[in-house]
Amino acid sequence: RLSPLLTDQYQFSMVYTYFKSNRHMEPAVFEMFFRSNPFKGSYAIFAGLGRLLDFLVDFHFTDEEIAYLKKTMPYAHDDFFVYLRTLNYEQLTIRAPEEGRVVFGGEPVISVEGPLGMCQLIETTLLVLVNYATLVTTNACRMRVAAEPGFTEQKIKDIHNVPDTVKKLLNDHILMEFGLRRAQGPNGGMSASNYAIMGGFNATSNVLAAMDLGIKPIGTMAHAFILSHTERLEDYINVYPDYPEPQLKNHNFKKFANLVLKWQEKLFSCLDLASSSHMQTHIENQFPLFSCYRGNEQELTAFAVFAFTQPTNFVALIDTYDTLNSGMANFLIVSCALMEYGIQPAGVRLDSGDLCYLSKECRNMLNRLDLVFVNHYEQLTPNVEKIQYDGQIKNAKIVASNDITEEVLVQLHKDGAAIDTYGIGTHLVTCKVQPALGGVYKLVQVNGQPRMKMTEEISKATLPGAKDVFRLYLSNNEPYVDLICQRDQEKIEAGKIYTCVHPTDELKRVQVKPARVVKLHQTWLENGVVTYNHVVKDGKVQLIHPEVGAVRQFVLEQVYMLRDDHKRYLNPTPYKVSLSEKMSHLVKEMAIECRNVPLIE
């Protein structure tokens, strides 16, 4: 349960004054929106709806909370606290897009309608539940777009098969969320993991979040694991526990380790350190493939132990000592041993250095060994049960981590990096480029009267009155404009022509004949009626949230259909958010009313 005390003190101060002024039950409409799209982009992904509704349907004050408020508000009359006990979701109407809907700056995202006091009291909690969720989900989505050029470089979009296209793009490059240790506390870490998946990531290393989401957590190994091994493999064989490993034909570690050592000899012509700083292909014969072994023997031990205990999860961290000469060499050795058991080596992880260069070199080494195995694998493994070589080495994945940002993803793609999977933490969960969304919650109507906030900056003026937002699509299924209209006063339909007016410059307008129209706001709560998917147990409403993978699919299908220039990393074309003619007229009328015309004498 999220306590209603998770708010700012001035909310209680204002509500108390409303109450004593007998205004707390006046019908009001508040709207949550943000003025500018995050990360200098042209769109955002709305998230946090499920947790907001969870908070609202369980909204109540406990005896302990009321007792605390009485201490902090000693001036308040007892009837005020009686009033607080009556507050619940049945007094509210909540309208918002579905979780994961693409939204834009300057348009209402959430509409809250109900008694003035209740609407005011939930402001801060609503913002804290939606702002960070929307920010992280948007950040994750932008990283997905940056990592997968198919979202921005489709010359012709397959508008008839978008779901399958998106599923393919989702798995072309794997994104893993690694941010728990860098998140702003446990709650921030849990939220970030959830919304990262929602925004387009494939998996998370956060075990608790993965359990909550019903998915499998992912992970590789840390440098500490490798550094903890201090013996050569030949010596470690004698101290490792003797037990059979079912995944390796019930062989013990000694047998597996000897197989590793055999492949070390096969792949390398000598086992002493040579003066050359780089591996060189041994030209004369196919094997040994490399002229000399320059790897760290303790690292080889660590890799062998890990592969023995987790054969199908062998992703080696290869930069502890020397990425190419040691880490990659030891990975190839252990991988060849695994392949004799018919097991696919999972891959390697790069965590430092020039990721683009190193990934290409790693891929070249994998391909070089693959080329030999394609032609000679059976001859190289004469004493092994016949296992068909089917590109297992070539299929090993290259994982990259190390403070990866959206900008780095864009550059790695431009430079042709050979990276299959990205592990991203700090810059994802902290949203380092823009740590806050800037969502606000403003009163737009009270007692049926539109209200408008005027400021010295015209960009910060609010749009008056309760509103509907319609998304107008063209015949190619691309969204073209979001049209803001007065609530229930305008019906927007496909096939008709509508004039769309710029929010701050009424001379800028465009006429649009949409092929399809979507009303963005759905009603989730309405005067005690819950339309969100739910069950009732013991008289309590329990919401049933959509599976996170389904929301992710919904997010990416929308983003795929956005025009490519809206998704550019640098200087994207702004998406049109416009007013209907009636709405524009109301804004102009209210603006004139709000300003006194100065008299100059």
pLDDT tens digits along 424-479: 999 999 999 999 999 999 999 999 999 998 877 777 789 999 999 999 999 999 99
Instruction: Count the alpha carbons within 13 Å of 251 in the hemisphere toward its beta carbon.
Output: 18
Best CA proximity match to 498, nearest among 583, 588, 590, 586: 583
pLDDT at 596 over 80: no
Per-residue pLDDT at 12 exceeds 70: yes
Question: Which tens digit of pLDDT belongs to each residue from 285-329?
Answer: 556 777 789 999 999 999 999 999 999 999 999 999 999 999 999
Of 135 and 153, the structure prediction assigns the larger pLDDT to 135
If you search the block for the tokens 């929010």, which residue do you land on? 503
Handedness of CA 460, 464, 467, 469 (dihedral sign): negative
The arithmetic mean of pLDDT across residues 387-399, rounded, is 88
Domain 9-149+437-464+521-575: which topology?
Answer: nicotinate phosphoribosyltransferase (3.20.140)
Q: Give me the DSSP letters along 215-263.
A: --------HHHHHT--S-HHHHTTTS----BGGGTTB-HHHHHHHHHHH
Tokens of 385: 């049960």
At 389 the pLDDT is 81
Half-sphere CA count of 252, side-chain side, radius 13 A: 8
d(CA 29, CA 16): 19
**How long a stretch of residues is the chain?**
601
Q: Is the pLDDT of residue 270 over 70?
A: no
Q: Is 548 left (phi over 0), alpha (psi -120 to 50) or beta?
A: alpha
Nearest to 301 by CA among 220, 236, 245: 236
Report the range of poorest mean pLDDT among 259-273, 398-412, 450-464, 482-496: 259-273
* pLDDT-wise least confident of 77-91, 304-318, 376-390: 376-390
Residue 186 token pair: 């446990």
Closest Cα to residue 281, out of 271, 270, 297, 292?
292
**pLDDT of the residue at 600:** 80
pLDDT in tens, 116-125: 999 999 999 9
Residue with token string 């020039």: 354
pLDDT at position 283 is: 35
> Mean pLDDT over all residues of the chain?
92
- Model pLDDT for residues 511-551, shown as the tens digit of each residue: 999 999 999 999 999 999 999 999 999 989 999 999 999 99
Q: Which of 591, 589, 577 is nearest to 502 (CA)?
A: 577
Beta strands (DSSP E) in 265-350 are 315-317, 347-350
User: CA-CA-CA-CA torsion for 553, 555, 558, 563, nearest 10 degrees?
Assistant: -120
One-letter amino acid of 481: V
Can you give the residue ranges of every domain in the chain?
A: 9-149+437-464+521-575, 223-274+283-398
pLDDT at position 321, please?
97
Count the Cβ atoms, other than its own, within 10 Å of residue 89: 22
pLDDT, position 383: 62
Instruction: Answer yes or no: is pLDDT of 278 > 50.
Output: no
Using the 8-state DSSP alphabet, how is residue 585 labeled? H
pLDDT of residue 443: 97
Q: Residue 282 has what pLDDT? A: 41
Span 17-34, average pLDDT: 98
| Beta carbons of 559 and 151 less than 8 angstroms apart | yes
Please state which of the ranges 248-257, 338-347, 458-467, 508-517 shows the lowest mean pLDDT: 458-467
CA atoms of 369 and 26, how far apart (whole Å): 75
The pTM score is 0.93
The DSSP bridge pattern shows strands 421-424 and 174-177 to be: parallel
Examine residue 288 and say whether the peptide bond preceding it is cis (omega within 30 degrees of 0): yes
**To the nearest whole percent, how much of the chain has pLDDT over 70?**
95
Strands (E), 407-457: 421-424, 440-446, 449-450
Q: Where are the alpha helices (DSSP H) in 281-328?
A: 297-309
The pLDDT of residue 30 is 98
- Does 553 score more than 50 pLDDT? yes
Per-residue pLDDT at 156: 64
- The label of the residue with tokens 């700056």 reads 105
| Encoded amino acid at 355, one letter | L
User: What's the pLDDT score for residue 279?
Assistant: 45
Least confident of 18-32, 138-152, 543-557, 580-594: 580-594
Place of tokens 């909204």: 59
Pairing of strands 174-177, 203-204: parallel
Contacts with 597 (C-beta within 8 Å, 6 or more apart), sequence order: none
Q: Which two tokens stand for residue 593?
A: 């009313």
Instruction: Using alpha carbons, select from 84, 71, 78 the residue that is nearest to residue 122.
Output: 84
Report CA dihedral (268, 273, 275, 278) to the nearest 10 degrees: 50
Percent of the chain with pLDDT over 90: 83
- Which band of pLDDT confidence, cut at 50, 70 and 90, is reported for residue 280? very low
Burial, 287: exposed, middle or buried (Cβ in 10 Å; 0-12, 13-18, 19+)?
middle
What is the structure's pLDDT at 391?
Answer: 84
At 593 the pLDDT is 81
Are 424 and 22 in contact by the 8 Å Cβ rule? The answer is: no
Nearest to 331 by CA among 309, 290, 299: 299
